[in-house]
Amino acid sequence: MTATVAGLTRQIRVDHPSAAYAAARLAREAAHEAGLAGVLADRAAVVAAELAGNIDKHTGGGSVFVHQSLTGRGVDVLAADDGPGMADLDHWLLDGNTTTATLGAGLGAVKRMATEFRITSSPAAGTLAAARLLDPAAPPHRRAIGHFRLPRDGEQYCGDAVALADVTGSRTAVVADGLGHGPDAAEAAEAALRVFAENPDRPLPHQLTTMHRALRTTRGAAVALVRIAPRRLEFCGVGNVSGASLGGGPSRLLLSTPGVVGFTLPSAPVRHLTLADDDVVVLHTDGVGTGWRVPGRAPDLLLLAADLAHRHRNARDDAAMLALSADRSG
């Protein structure tokens, strides 16, 4: 079993026409880093440029986020703006309908080139869009995932980290938040993920105990772990990483026990929940606010990542989130 560790998410603030070219460059770089062939890297660049160009031409501002996908060999391009939204979304999804001077031919081209594409728009909330481009030779698994990992503004290192592993009959994930910011915080979070990657199949309390020993020479970190199997979830966390399970009914909060892994490790109980097949499990660090709750329905995971990254992230703090489907077949 192999753990996949999330790389950094790169943000392009769309406040100038040149943002489209910056988005294209970063998407192409991310595609090359993910091992995508030349044509797929070119498509990633076109998709990012088109989404950034739409924000520049039609809205009051927004952002594009680019990173390697946790699904395998691929790139996720997330976009969010501040309005005014599109009244006739179906029209703009037709191939060739565009008013932007970007590299592509409108949202229809984005939909055609992407392996997966989602978009939602309203006058009140603006537009969220997400495109995923995958190597067609990659195994068709792990698609029901959304995430981001962003350092605070002006910071090169990110003290928040995310990793995911598929183990026998289940999927296990960890989100860690190293104390503070900068390289020392990143060192603490990365140490926690190294312990996780050694054996993701360990019981969750055992994971925390082993991490506690490994982090004693670091600043320490907040850590939360989830294990998802058919119709059930285990959650165990210490510190300020929290989350929720979302679905057709009320959301259920996943709250960690106060403490610091590496300094003061309390006895952290494992919480067990029963899940429906369409439930979504979300973990996030305290760089993401708590006002994002989506009652009464399970959100699309890629669009949720775009929404939280743009509208609910504290730019003065590192931030990370991971959203997983309860249905492991996705």
pLDDT of 272 > 60? The answer is: yes
145-325 domain in CATH 3.60.40.10?
Answer: yes
pLDDT (tens digit, 9 = 90+) per residue, 66-125? 999 998 789 999 999 987 755 554 544 555 545 444 444 578 888 889 999 999 888 777
Joined together, the tokens standing for residue 124 give 């009140």
- Percent of the chain residues topping a pLDDT of 70: 89
Over residues 122-152, the pLDDT tens digits come to 877 788 999 999 998 876 656 689 999 999 9
**Gap between the Cα atoms of 311 and 295, Å rounded:** 17
* Interatomic CA distance for residues 59 and 267, integer angstroms: 49
Give the CA distances from residue 298 to residues 17, 148, 212, in Å, rounded to whole numbers and listed in that order: 35, 19, 34
CA dihedral over 9, 15, 18, 24, signed as positive or negative: positive
Q: Give the CATH H-level superfamily of domain 7-134.
A: Histidine kinase-like ATPase, C-terminal domain (3.30.565.10)
> Domain ranges in the chain?
7-134, 145-325
